[in-house]
A = this chain, B = another copy of it.
């Protein structure tokens, strides 16, 4: 973890919603005082149960957002990429993170004091709406996950995850940053069964797998499986 306070929104190459909103207000922009922090692979960006002190915005890299359940078992809810907010969900609720975020590869994030964000939220209607919208989407997504994990069989869940990752990477061919175990935590399947499903889908000519690289060959069929299992 490496901290850099010597940055300014004016010269930032990764302008975020906050900048967009403040663009016309020089005084506020001067007060933002953003901090860039670089996390190495596997480092904790935020930890479930800890106080929410900052709004966090992914500048570069990839991270996993997970809830820590019983007996050190996890459910990965999201894979975060640049321009995603971390801590959104927790912002509304009390003051503790409801989940943890870990870097899957080197990650640079921009942190803004939560007090500043709350003020902005209260005073700026545009910001309020943007944040609400993003928040609403997260909730919709969790509810969808609840249905998926509960009512689909492992083939359906697995297909869902592959489609999610393809969309995330904006390509049918992508590099898996997750281990087999983590992929399991993403669709609530045991590590062993993930391995079996990978070769099963490969045999059925639905995907191509080579170590960490996945290529979706038959997207139509994958969508069908996601629906009917």
A interface residue numbers (CB < 8 A to B) = 67, 69-71, 73, 75, 89, 92-94, 98-99, 122, 125, 128, 132-133, 135-140, 142-143, 145-147, 149-152, 188
Contacts of A152 in B (CB 8 A): 70
Bound-state CA distance A70–B153 (Å) is 11
Contacts of A67 in B (CB 8 A): 143, 146-147
Contacts of A138 in B (CB 8 A): 139
A-B contact pairs, 23 of them (CB 8 A): A67-B147, A69-B150, A70-B147, A70-B152, A75-B146, A75-B150, A89-B139, A92-B135, A92-B136, A93-B136, A93-B139, A93-B140, A99-B143, A122-B128, A138-B139, A142-B142, A142-B146, A145-B146, A146-B146, A146-B149, A149-B149, A149-B150, A150-B150
User: Which 5 pairs show the lowest CB-CB distances between chains A and B?
Assistant: A93-B136, A92-B136, A69-B147, A92-B132, A69-B151
In angstroms, how far is the closest chain B Cβ from the Cβ of A156?
Answer: 9
In angstroms, how far is the closest chain B Cβ from the Cβ of A119?
Answer: 11
